[in-house]
């Protein structure tokens, strides 16, 4: 199994962190982490998955190496929505759009091996 890891940090939002793992085997990557109190957005999806640690400012995102920008956007939405809910920020269009765009851009560049 191959994997690459990065973290997106949002200091303005209570230091909320998104652990992003690009992996050749999502199930094996999930197994590396001890079970915690997590909320899984879509447990039947093995192509990509986003998991939120309950009562903590932390989200795990697992993506395949051949991830599409559409999948990055989809999973990023789950992370941004959870972050906004965690810090009790209204899901207004501009705040969400800014953080969603930021997340997608950072993850896309990381997935493609760019800074």
pLDDT in the model for residue 32? 86
pTM of the predicted protein model: 0.89
Confidence class for position 40, pLDDT limits 50, 70, 90: low
Confidence class for position 85, pLDDT limits 50, 70, 90: very high
For the segment 84-106, the average pLDDT, to the nearest whole number, is: 92
pLDDT in the model for residue 39? 55
pLDDT in the model for residue 115? 64
8-state DSSP, 97? H
- pLDDT of 66 > 90? The answer is yes
> What is the rounded CA–CA span in Å between residue 23 and residue 42?
18
Provide the 10 A C-beta neighbour count for residue 13. 17
Q: Domain extents for the chain?
A: 3-111
Asked if 80 and 96 touch (Cβ cutoff 8 Å), the reply is yes
């Amino acid at each position: 199994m191959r994997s690459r890891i990065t973290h997106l940090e949002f200091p303005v939002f209570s230091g909320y962190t998104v652990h992003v793992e690009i992996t050749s085997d999502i199930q094996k990557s999930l197994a590396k982490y001890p079970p915690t109190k997590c909320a899984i957005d879509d447990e039947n999806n093995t192509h990509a998955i986003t998991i939120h640690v309950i009562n903590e400012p932390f989200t795990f995102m697992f993506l395949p190496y051949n991830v599409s920008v559409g999948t990055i956007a989809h999973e990023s939405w789950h992370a941004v929505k959870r972050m906004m809910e965690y810090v009790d920020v209204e899901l207004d269009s501009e705040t969400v759009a800014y953080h969603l765009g930021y997340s997608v851009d950072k993850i896309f560049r990381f997935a493609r091996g760019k800074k």
